[in-house]
């Protein structure tokens, strides 16, 4: 995920673009850059954050500008991979948000035609395609170029010989802001809000040409008109895309996040190394550890392969065996405990792989292989979308190591996750917010789902919550059950259902109220639970995702009802870089 901005207007473009990038920084902050068009195109790009940009380092006059703040996907975060990217002549500049899936073949073709590439990104091919098709009309060149692109893109292009910006949108957000003698284009409305509230949300296939006062929108070769809207968001709310908190925004991104993370092509080399390993061990902390536990159950069930899962801070007390394949899972890629085990494993001669959300993060530099979750920046301290992405990556690996039943059945999962966002959790929230202690229980892969549900709730509400294997509660914790201790039971249609129902009956007879998540239409569950939350119908193992999303919403809504600081819970940090 990256942020882009374009400006054509009566002001100096430089400060508008730089100010806009600062507002888009939440979308990615690996590197930034901009191009300002005056008599020539002047470009500045740099590894690091726009918030650290020193304005005395660059000045260029011009009333047209484009800018980019990057969340690296192809190519490590460094100066050369930062946008804008230029064609060979230096006359055309582009910024791009999205992923060009067929970039490798296009790049090869362009190189064979003599184009010189200066970055490792997928995006640079767009500048060279524009160069190839430019014959004095940037709009036609962009139109022609998009015919060759597979994937997702929001593109802004400048050409030294023209006093306009041309934009294109396909599956990546792009919105126009219509001001008085100025027009903006951006990934979201935040950069334009201080100048105008009149916006146009572009649609897939739209190609737009604009200068400070004229606007032309084309789609499928024809001119189209798009309704403008007046936005009354304040700037701070808009940064969160209209959501009250980043956590809710990030939960709402999960349908796309799952899809992006699940659909990747694993490299045959590391897949066969996993297959041939003497032992497979996953290490991680907190939420990442829980994702590892889910992987263990799925590997056993689908691939028949045992997996060991260790909390990273404890794993260092075990000696890694050479011949093991060690998977370090970490959203940030910087967690010190995880990094320490990875280094230890590496020096013991194990093969290592990182599963992370951050390209260029420390664990990717240590590990032999890296898999990226592609969830985009997660700002709220509580991990939500990154957990869904971790599970998605693990599910894809399981799929690759088994008979591919998951990928076949997951084609409609996007819509199922969207349905979860609409599920009513109000009755459960009322029960949780008054409690001092709670248990979350599940069996099989739903045991780590319940661990994660409990972690989310305790982390942001400060209510004590424990995840437990449902069958284990009677071996001690039963003494804690009473009418003030609700139990959240994750009980979808699964082999464990019958045993879960008898565990729920045991709990009920000790006086604890039960909130049960189960298959829609599960009459038994509906009857015994005090609050029943029906799960949208999902493909096999898809309930791991649906129940996780709903437990995140339960934690979020309970925290809001209790007036907690949801995005920044006390005593915590997003990235834990100390052991």
Beta strands of 137-227 (E only): which ranges? 151-159, 165-170, 175-178, 182-186, 198-201, 206-210, 215-219, 222-223
- In whole angstroms, give the CA distance from residue 311 to residue 329: 10
DSSP string, 503-554: HHHHHHHTT--EEEEEETT-HHHHHH-SEEEEEPP--TTTHHHHHHHHHHHH
User: Toward ligand F6R, which CB reaches closer, 125 or 460?
Assistant: 460
Please, which of residues 125-154 interact with ligand F6R by CB under 6 A? none
Minimal distance, residue 320 CB to ligand F6R, in Å: 19
User: Toward ligand F6R, which CB reaches closer, 197 or 575?
Assistant: 575
Q: Is 43 helix (H, G, I), strand (E, B) or coil?
A: strand
User: Toward ligand F6R, which CB reaches closer, 103 or 440?
Assistant: 440
Minimal distance, residue 407 CB to ligand F6R, in Å: 25
Return the residue of 37, 123, 288, 558 that touches ligand F6R, per CB under 6 A.
Answer: 288
Instruction: Give the interface segment with ligand F6R, choosing from 174-182, 285-293, 483-491, 546-554 (CB under 6 A).
Output: 285-293
Instruction: Give the interface segment with ligand F6R, choosing from 142-150, 286-294, 302-310, 392-400 (CB under 6 A).
Output: 286-294
Residue that is written with structure tokens 């929108």 in the block: 217
Largest Cα–Cα separation, the chain: 80
Minimal distance, residue 475 CB to ligand F6R, in Å: 26
User: Toward ligand F6R, which CB reaches closer, 186 or 287?
Assistant: 287
Instruction: Give me the catalytic one of 46, 474, 568, 574.
Output: 574
Pair 404, 302: CB distance under 8 Å = no
Beta bridge pairs of residue 244: none
Residue 38 phi, psi (nearest 5): -115, -120
Pair 207, 218: CB distance under 8 Å = yes
Pair 529, 514: CB distance under 8 Å = yes
Which residue lies nearest ligand F6R, judged by its C-beta?
286
Residue 528 phi, psi (nearest 5): -85, -25
User: Toward ligand F6R, which CB reaches closer, 285 or 366?
Assistant: 285
Pair 535, 547: CB distance under 8 Å = yes
Count, residues near ligand F6R per rule CB under 6 A: 15
Write the interaction track for ligand F6R spanning residues 377-416; mark x where CB under 6 A is met and - where it is not: -----xx---------------------------------
Instruction: Give the interface segment with ligand F6R, choosing from 12-20, 59-67, 281-289, 438-446 (CB under 6 A).
Output: 281-289
Joined tokens for residue 15:
């400060």
User: Toward ligand F6R, which CB reaches closer, 36 or 329?
Assistant: 329
Is residue 558 close enough to count as binding ligand F6R by CB under 6 A? no
The continuous run of DSSP H or E covering 130 comes out as helix 124-133
Minimal distance, residue 285 CB to ligand F6R, in Å: 4
User: Toward ligand F6R, which CB reaches closer, 125 or 367?
Assistant: 367
Give the β-pairing of 308-311 and 206-210: unpaired
User: Toward ligand F6R, which CB reaches closer, 172 or 287?
Assistant: 287
User: Toward ligand F6R, which CB reaches closer, 222 or 570?
Assistant: 570
Joined tokens for residue 351:
């093969």
Report the Cα–Cα distance between both ends of the chain, in Å, rounded: 30
Instruction: Give me the catalytic one of 2, 359, 420, 432.
Output: 2
Gyration radius from the chain CA atoms? 25
Residue 567 CA to its chain's centroid (Å): 16
Minimal distance, residue 543 CB to ligand F6R, in Å: 21
Return the residue of 3, 286, 320, 444 that touches ligand F6R, per CB under 6 A.
Answer: 286
Joined tokens for residue 186:
């951006």
Please, which of residues 311-370 interact with ligand F6R by CB under 6 A? 330-332, 335, 338
Residue 504 phi, psi (nearest 5): -65, -40
Peptide bond into 451 cis (omega under 30): no
Is residue 461 close enough to count as binding ligand F6R by CB under 6 A? no
Joined tokens for residue 262:
């699940």
Minimal distance, residue 354 CB to ligand F6R, in Å: 10
Minimal distance, residue 309 CB to ligand F6R, in Å: 14
Active site residue 159: no
- In whole angstroms, give the CA distance from residue 227 to residue 479: 62
Is residue 459 close enough to count as binding ligand F6R by CB under 6 A? yes
Active site residue 2: yes
- In whole angstroms, give the CA distance from residue 384 to residue 250: 7
User: Toward ligand F6R, which CB reaches closer, 129 or 285?
Assistant: 285
Minimal distance, residue 434 CB to ligand F6R, in Å: 23
> How long a stretch of residues is the chain?
579
Return the residue of 224, 311, 499, 576 that touches ligand F6R, per CB under 6 A.
Answer: 576
Minimal distance, residue 444 CB to ligand F6R, in Å: 22
Return the residue of 176, 285, 417, 449 that touches ligand F6R, per CB under 6 A.
Answer: 285
Distances 202 to 108, 191, 208, 271, 288 between C-alpha atoms, Å:
31, 16, 9, 40, 36
Minimal distance, residue 483 CB to ligand F6R, in Å: 29
Closest residue by Cα to residue 412 from 517, 542, 519: 542
Q: Provide the annotated active-site residues.
A: 2, 574
| Interaction site with ligand F6R (CB under 6 A) | 285-288, 330-332, 335, 338, 382-383, 455, 459, 575-576
């Amino acid at each position: 995920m990256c942020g882009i901005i374009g400006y054509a207007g009566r002001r100096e473009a430089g400060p508008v673009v730089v100010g806009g990038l600062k507002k888009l920084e939440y979308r990615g902050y690996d590197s930034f850059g901009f191009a300002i068009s005056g008599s020539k195109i002047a470009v500045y790009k740099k590894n690091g954050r726009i918030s650290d940009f020193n304005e005395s380092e660059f000045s260029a006059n011009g009333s047209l500008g484009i800018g980019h703040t990057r969340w690296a996907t192809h190519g490590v975060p460094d100066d050369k991979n930062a946008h804008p990217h230029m064609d060979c002549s230096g006359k055309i500049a582009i910024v791009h948000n999205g992923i060009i899936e067929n970039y490798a073949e296009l790049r090869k073709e362009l190189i064979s035609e003599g184009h010189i590439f200066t970055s490792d990104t997928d995006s640079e091919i767009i500048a060279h395609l524009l160069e190839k098709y430019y014959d004095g009309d940037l709009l036609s060149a962009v139109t022609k170029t998009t015919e060759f692109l597979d994937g997702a893109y929001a593109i802004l292009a400048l050409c030294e010989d023209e006093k306009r910006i041309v934009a294109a949108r396909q599956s990546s957000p792009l919105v126009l802001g219509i001001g008085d003698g100025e027009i903006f284009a951006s990934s979201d409305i935040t950069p334009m809000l201080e100048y105008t509230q009149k916006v146009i949300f572009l649609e897939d296939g739209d190609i737009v040409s604009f200068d400070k006062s004229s606007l032309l929108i084309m789609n499928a070769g024809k001119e189209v008109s798009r309704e403008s809207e007046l936005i009354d968001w304040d700037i701070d709310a808009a940064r969160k895309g209209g959501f009250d908190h980043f956590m809710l925004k990030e939960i709402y991104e999960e349908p796309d996040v799952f899809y992006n993370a699940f659909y990747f092509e694993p490299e045959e080399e590391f897949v066969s190394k996993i297959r041939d390993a003497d032992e497979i061990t996953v290490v991680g902390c907190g939420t990442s550890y829980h994702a590892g536990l889910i992987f263990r159950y799925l590997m056993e069930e689908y691939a028949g392969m045992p997996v060991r899962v260790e909390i990273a801070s404890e794993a260092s007390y075990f000696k890694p065996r050479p011949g093991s394949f060690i998977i370090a899972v970490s959203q940030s890629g910087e967690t010190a405990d995880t990094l320490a085990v990875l280094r230890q494993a590496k020096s013991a001669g194990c093969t290592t792989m990182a599963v992370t959300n951050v390209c260029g993060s420390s664990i990717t530099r240590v590990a032999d292989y890296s898999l990226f979750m592609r969830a985009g920046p997660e700002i709220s301290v509580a991990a939500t979308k990154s957990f869904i992405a971790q599970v998605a990556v693990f599910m894809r690996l399981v799929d690759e190591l088994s008979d591919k039943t998951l990928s076949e059945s997951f084609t409609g999962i996007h819509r199922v996750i969207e349905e979860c966002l609409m599920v009513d959790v109000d009755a459960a929230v009322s029960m949780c917010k008054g409690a001092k202690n709670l248990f979350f229980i599940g069996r099989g892969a739903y045991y780590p789902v319940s661990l994660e549900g409990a972690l989310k709730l305790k982390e942001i509400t400060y209510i004590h919550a424990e995840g437990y294997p449902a069958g284990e509660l009677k071996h001690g914790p039963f003494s804690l059950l009473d009418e003030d201790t609700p139990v959240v039971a994750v009980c979808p249609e699964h082999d464990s259902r019958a045993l879960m129902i008898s565990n729920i009956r045991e709990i009920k007879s000790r006086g604890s109220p039960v909130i049960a998540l189960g298959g829609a239409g599960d009459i038994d569950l509906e009857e015994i639970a005090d609050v029943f939350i029906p799960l949208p119908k999902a493909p096999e193992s898809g309930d791991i995702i649906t129940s996780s999303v709903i437990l995140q919403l339960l934690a979020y809504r309970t925290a809001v009802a209790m007036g907690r600081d949801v995005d920044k819970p006390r005593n915590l940090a997003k990235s834990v870089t100390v052991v």
